[in-house]
Amino acid sequence: MNREATGLAGARHIIYETLGSTNAEALALARAGDRGPLWITATTQSAGRGRRGSQWVSPAGNLHATLLLSEPSPPAQAPQLAFVAALALHDAVADCAPEIGPLLQLKWPNDLLVEKAKVAGILIEGASEPVFTVAIGIGVNCAIHPTDTIFPATDLAAIGALFVPDALFAALTACMQARLSQWSGGQGFAATRTDWLKRAAGLGETLQVRLPGRELLGRFEGLDESGRLLLAQNGTVIRITAGEVFGFGED
């Protein structure tokens, strides 16, 4: 069962009690002709997922949300929305819980950390037909977090940030609108990149980056003009488009 809310920072909002995946639902609606902007939230997900097809545990008490956008930018710039969404999420959590604001960091390319433990993840998915659309999926561990993860995880309640998902979602919608305006369809990515780097986890530290079939160890030097991670290794700077980051500060 679902219901639709209105008046939400310029976007519609469909609310579900239970859903397989908010991203999957958004893309299905796009294929059926919905052009957004549209937020979809669910109290629980039965088939939530993260990057590379990993499962995203989605119990009641956490935030599960997707923003559907049509033609937000040229397709080549759409991956930058991971940085836009990460900044919006950082802003929203800091607004709701100012006391933990200094503890929040952004992990390349799409996670929110609290003291180097993952508290939220972002999944960007797209479709090209009938028009180019993007689903920005956001999952936040508000009250519960998984314990069987490769990268350390936590939840906001565990660190003393006590607020319901609805309060965080309300802040997120406003912050997302502001960050999308800053990004301006990719034209403002330089400002987005600068703001993201100010909040970056591991900047200047040695990182382990896991790629398909191999791993790299190097110093995190920043982001290039398109958002690729710059990893310095043996006097060479490697530009990484996609990968999993581990091992902050293993000098």
Using H for helix, E for strand and C for coil, what is the string for 119-170? EEEEEEEEECCCCCEEEEEEEECCCCCCCCCCCCECCCHHHCCCCCHHHHHH
**How far apart (Å, rounded) are the C-alpha atoms in residues 107 and 83?**
10
**How far apart (Å, rounded) are the C-alpha atoms in residues 106 and 202?**
9
56 has a pLDDT exceeding 60: no
Confidence of residue 249 (pLDDT cuts 50, 70, 90): very low
Tens digit of each residue's pLDDT (9 = 90 or more) over 131-145: 999 999 999 999 988
What is the three-class DSSP state of 80?
helix
Confidence of residue 37 (pLDDT cuts 50, 70, 90): very high
Q: What average pLDDT does the segment 48-60 reach?
A: 60
Tens digit of each residue's pLDDT (9 = 90 or more) over 96-128: 999 999 999 999 988 999 988 999 999 999 998
CA angle, corner 61, sides to 55 and 64, nearest 5? 50
pTM of this structure: 0.91
Tens digit of each residue's pLDDT (9 = 90 or more) over 206-226: 999 988 888 999 999 999 999
Laid out side by side, the sheet with 206-211 consists of: 236-240, 229-233, 214-223, 206-211, 244-246
- pLDDT in the model for residue 194: 97
First-to-last alpha carbon distance for the chain, in angstroms, is 52
